């Protein structure tokens, strides 16, 4: 009982106590389990960071080896689940294909659906982490009309991900270590970001004790919107649109500032960061080098740099404290690696998966968790009598 607080977008409402990720938006600080993102991006690996987020500590060598081996064992998806991809339309967007397949995992792996049995949760965790890259690549290959490439479990998670996306069936895949390292680092940067829209969705769905697969599928759908993870492909579409039009960066910025419907500077602004997004800072530092190595589109990078320069000196953006976020540069790198634009948000989902899992597990273990059930401010009609059809106008 008591007063209901109106807080659209939950801008001032904490829905959870969490020990996973710390953000100081004014200072531009991001830490996973206390470790600064800059150190993890430089020194760790995506598999190690996944372990850290989920189990709370950096693994010992033995723990890491066991975890890695477990993930390698679970990369293949059930044949019937693989056949799902034959049924989607050829031009289906990969995000709903991926969320549908992840949701369907709860029909194929019924031995790990308990939300209270730690061993089953560990099994679902391993299955999700190991199969997500395979499922993401199935969506990619389907969308491109390419044959399926099966995982090769002699490869690590990120190397295998490159293989299933870009390799040839039944042929060994030669991993480009630079590409693998760059992708590994991008996954680390995306691995968690406290109570963002998709993570809050995972927690909210999970708070009803829906199983881990179903909760993660909901998170993937939340991520797909252009204001959230979908921004990375929206940035590239924006840059290409500006490049192909006669308008140029300045004119586009005028449209943004005039608040034309649906026109925003994509990849800019953040609910929590009111300073440079530390992830964007790390990526900005490497984008130029990576594009050079992978033969990327420098013209688009130059355009992005000039949009950023205009924005950082413009009152509209300065007053609103809008800075580049993680998505501003990632699309350029993904494109240079050979991923089609509609796969960018799937790459975000692959990276964010360990964070969703860690937050779901924390939620399930927390004795203070209650089913998520927001209140409302009712603005509809007061009570009125039913009107028979022949009396309605």
Give the catalytic positions in this structure: 270, 327
- Shortest distance (Å) from residue 11 CB to ligand CMC: 7
Helices and strands in the chain: count of H runs, count of E runs: 17, 3
- Shortest distance (Å) from residue 237 CB to ligand CMC: 12
- Residue 112 burial class via C-beta count within 10 angstroms: exposed 0-12, middle 13-18, buried 19 and up: buried
* Size (the chain), residues: 393
Q: Does 159 bind ligand CMC (CB under 6 A)?
A: no
Q: Does 270 bind ligand CMC (CB under 6 A)?
A: yes
By CB under 6 A, name the one of 256, 336, 358, 363 that touches ligand CMC. Answer: 256
Measured N-to-C along each axis, helices 118-144 and 212-223 cross at an angle, to the nearest 10 degrees, of: 40
User: Nearer Cβ to ligand CMC, position 131 or 193?
Assistant: 193
Q: Does 200 bind ligand CMC (CB under 6 A)?
A: no
- Shortest distance (Å) from residue 54 CB to ligand CMC: 20
Calpha distance 261→158 (Å, rounded): 39
- DSSP secondary structure string, 12-31? T------SSEEEETTTTEEE
User: Nearer Cβ to ligand CMC, position 167 or 324?
Assistant: 324
Q: Does 250 bind ligand CMC (CB under 6 A)?
A: no
- Shortest distance (Å) from residue 161 CB to ligand CMC: 21
Asked if residue 73 lies in contact with residue 153, where contact means CB atoms within 8 angstroms, the answer is yes
Number of residues that bind ligand CMC (CB under 6 A): 21
Q: Does 357 bind ligand CMC (CB under 6 A)?
A: no
Q: Does 308 bind ligand CMC (CB under 6 A)?
A: no
By CB under 6 A, name the one of 74, 193, 335, 361 that touches ligand CMC. Answer: 193
- DSSP secondary structure string, 155-199? S-HHHHHHHHHH--TTS-----HHHHHHHHHHHHHHS--TT-HHH
- Shortest distance (Å) from residue 359 CB to ligand CMC: 14
Asked if residue 105 lies in contact with residue 81, where contact means CB atoms within 8 angstroms, the answer is yes
Q: Are strands 21-24 and 29-32 parallel, antiparallel or unpaired?
A: antiparallel
Taking contact as CB under 6 A, which single stretch among the options 13-21, 155-163, 228-236, 330-338 is the one that binds ligand CMC? 228-236
DSSP-derived secondary structure letter, 341: G
Site for ligand CMC in 6-65 (CB under 6 A): 9
Q: Does 150 bind ligand CMC (CB under 6 A)?
A: no
Closest C-alpha to 266, from 290, 234, 244, 295:
234
By CB under 6 A, name the one of 78, 255, 264, 293 that touches ligand CMC. Answer: 264
Taking contact as CB under 6 A, which single stretch among the options 53-61, 207-215, 264-272, 295-303 is the one that binds ligand CMC? 264-272
Taking contact as CB under 6 A, which single stretch among the options 76-84, 142-150, 240-248, 262-270 is the one that binds ligand CMC? 262-270
Calpha distance 318→61 (Å, rounded): 46
Calpha distance 336→353 (Å, rounded): 23
Q: Does 227 bind ligand CMC (CB under 6 A)?
A: yes
Closest C-alpha to 230, from 93, 337, 354:
93
Cα–chain center distance at 150: 24
User: Nearer Cβ to ligand CMC, position 10 or 168?
Assistant: 10
By CB under 6 A, name the one of 102, 130, 191, 231 that touches ligand CMC. Answer: 231
Which positions lie near ligand CMC, rule CB under 6 A?
9, 193, 196, 227-229, 231, 256, 264-271, 320, 322, 325-327
């Amino acid at each position: 009982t008591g007063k209901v607080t109106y807080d659209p977008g939950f801008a001032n409402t904490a829905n959870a106590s969490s020990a996973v990720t710390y953000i100081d938006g004014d200072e531009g600080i991001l830490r996973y389990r206390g470790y600064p993102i800059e150190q993890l991006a430089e020194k760790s690996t995506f598999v190690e960071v996944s372990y850290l987020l989920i189990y709370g500590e950096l693994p010992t060598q033995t723990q890491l080896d066991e975890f890695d081996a477990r993930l390698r064992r679970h990369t293949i998806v059930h044949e019937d689940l693989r056949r799902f991809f034959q049924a989607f339309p050829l031009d289906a967007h990969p995000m709903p294909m991926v969320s549908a397949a992840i949701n369907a995992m709860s029909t194929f792996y019924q031995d790990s659906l308990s939300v209270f049995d730690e061993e089953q949760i560990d099994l679902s965790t391993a299955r999700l982490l190991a199969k997500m890259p395979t499922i993401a690549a199935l969506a990619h290959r389907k969308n491109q009309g390419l044959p399926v490439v099966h995982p090769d479990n002699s490869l690590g998670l990120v190397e295998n991900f490159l293989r299933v996306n870009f390799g040839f069936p039944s042929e060994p895949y030669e991993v480009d270590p630079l590409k693998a390292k760059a992708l590994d680092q991008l996954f680390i940067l995306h691995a968690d970001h406290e109570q963002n829209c998709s993570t809050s969705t995972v927690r909210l769905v999970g708070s009803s004790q829906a199983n881990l697969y179903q909760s993660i599928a909901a998170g993937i759908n939340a991520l797909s919107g252009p204001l959230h993870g979908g921004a990375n492909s929206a940035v590239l579409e924006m840059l290409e649109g500006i490049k192909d039009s006669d308008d140029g960066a300045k004119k586009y910025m005028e449209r943004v500032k005039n608040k034309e419907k649906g026109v925003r500077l994509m990849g800019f602004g953040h609910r929590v960061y009111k300073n440079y997004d530390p992830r964007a800072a790390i990526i900005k530092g490497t984008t130029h080098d990576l594009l050079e190595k992978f033969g990327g589109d420098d013209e688009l990078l130059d355009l992005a740099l000039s949009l950023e320069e205009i924005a950082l000196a413009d009152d509209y953006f300065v007053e609103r404290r809008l800075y580049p976020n993680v998505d501003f540069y990632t699309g350029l790198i993904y494109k240079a690696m050979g991923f089609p634009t509609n796969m960018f948000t799937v790459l975000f989902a692959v990276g964010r998966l360990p964070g969703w899992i860690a937050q779901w597990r924390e939620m399930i273990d927390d004795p203070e968790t209650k089913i998520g059930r927001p209140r409302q401010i009712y603005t509809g009609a007061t009570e009125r009598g039913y009107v028979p059809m022949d009396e309605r106008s």
